[in-house]
Amino acid sequence: MRYLSTRGHADRKRFCEILLEGLAPDGGLYLPESYPKVDAAALTRLRQVWQNQGYTALAFEILSLYIDDIPAQDLKALCDKTYTEKVFGTAQIVPLKPLQSAGSAKPELYLEALSNGPTLAFKDMAMQLLGNLFEYELARRGEELNIFGATSGDTGSAAEYAMRGKKGVRVFMTSPHGRMSPFQQAQMFSLLDENIHNIAIEGVFDDCQDLVKAVSNDLDFKRQYKIGTVNSINWARLLAQVVYYFAGYFQATQGNDQTVSFTVPSGNFGNVCAGHVARMMGLPIHRLVVATNENDVLDEFFRTGVYRVRGTSDTHETSSPSMDISKASNFERFVCDLLERDTAQVNAIFGEGLSRQGFFDLSADPRFAKAADFYGFQSGKSTHADRLKTIQQVFAKYGVMIDTHTADGVKVAQEHLDPRVPMIVLETALPIKFAATLVEALGRQPDRPPQFEGIESLPKRVTVMKADLADIKAYISKHCD
């Protein structure tokens, strides 16, 4: 298996090379040269693996299709180490929750529970594996890695909890100053491990993400300080997420002649891009529904063909803050497939074109219609009022409390229901992470896992900085020497 850059760089690399690299040398994102295909017989075998051996074995089978430079026994051991009941609180790892009214013949939709990990968010599903992969590969090479990342809320804590104490790894995590929930801030800033560095940037998430890309594109600095990334621009992050699409499908269906749809709350497009990969492999997915909040860059594209990034002043601060993103960095992977791997065109529109114009328009390109017709994408938007209403509705009708991002997903999913096709909404976090909005909606505090009692009052360590590339580089240099 070899990987190529979405922007056409000549190199073809193996998995462990891109694991530690992040962006390609030309600023592109890595994709496999082709997606391995899962035919009917292979899908039946994977269903049996899921039923008889569980999530860990399923993860090993799917990851093995993309990773051929880690010995099979080592990869299996990494999966066994990562996906345990102790870490994720349930032997199923990602149990499916039917939302079914009393007297109804079948569920209206399903929630796939992805938030049972250490930081109560779906990011743990990939980040726990990534931490173990990093530690394994760095030990094999006798090297160290300095992770420079950006978070709008959940990636940061998931990365830090996965990397804390890992040998040979330091984490420098940027986040938008004051724009995460108090619980999210406490999760990150209360980690006092020596290898964890939190940097609050005066700006929005996109400013943080721009810094990560700028550092990654400075090849000399990147090599000197061995910079890697845990953001979803890292292919390993996205690959790990492909597994739970298969697990959700097997739980919602009885046989492989059925299709399902997934609705995915999305800001950076990484989570739903994993669904795209699963669908390209042959998983019978009918629709991939992208749910946005008021920062509706992705919804606008799927409705109109225009991808228009917003500046800091036009990025809304919302009650689903992990989706307060106006530059969906993972989107480039899907557009590369949409444009039939025309890497020259991808380079033209995502390179200088997007930074110069601030938008691109594919509405007149005949290939744009394939986004829905061939790739199965649909989309919708949710607002604060929608979130409150949906949280209230789901609690009253099903007795289930959901967080604000999952509420965005449920709201949009309800607009795209097909009685013939099960709809699975990917749960993104537990409600306690966004308690203020849950109190506003339901008049009560959400349940808090015992290990997080009093987390907001713990000592915190964070450095507030401006979105200045030179200052960021100086900070990294100081703490690496």
Catalytic residues: 123
**Nearest-angstrom CA–CA distance, 303 and 317:** 23
Q: What is the 3-state secondary structure (H, E, C) of 63-74?
A: HHCCCCCCCHHH
Residue bearing tokens 């697990």 = 247
At residue 150, what is the residue type?
Answer: A
Q: Residue 99: phi, psi to the nearest 5?
A: -100, 100
DSSP-H helix ranges across 296-383 = 297-304, 331-338, 343-348, 354-357, 370-373
3-state class of 54 per DSSP?
A: coil
- CB-count exposure of residue 189 (10 Å: 0-12, 13-18, 19+): buried
Which helix (H) or strand (E) segment holds residue 201: the answer is: strand 196-201
Q: How far apart (Å, rounded) are the C-alpha atoms in residues 28 and 18?
A: 12
Q: State the Cα–Cα distance between residues 191 and 185, nearest whole angstrom.
A: 10
Cβ atoms of 148 and 230 closer than 8 Å: no
- What is the C-alpha to C-alpha distance for residues 449 and 470, in angstroms, rounded to an integer? 40
Sequence-distant contacts of 452-455: CB under 8 A, at least 24 apart = 452/120, 452/183, 452/187, 455/183, 455/186, 455/187, 455/190
User: Residue 234's closest CA among 27, 21, 66?
Assistant: 21
Please choose, from the candidates 168, 159, 156, the residue with its C-alpha nearest in 3D space to the C-alpha of residue 130.
159
- Cα–Cα distance between 70 and 259 in angstroms, integer? 33
User: Is residue 225 a contact partner of residue 474, using CB atoms and an 8 Å limit?
Assistant: no
Q: Distance (Å, rounded) from C-alpha 254 to C-alpha 419? A: 16
Distance CA 455, CA 376 (A): 42
> Quick one: tokens of 403?
């967080």
β-bridge pairing 3-5 and 463-465: unpaired
C-alpha to C-alpha distance for 214 and 27, rounded to whole angstroms: 9
The token duo for 31 is 């994709």
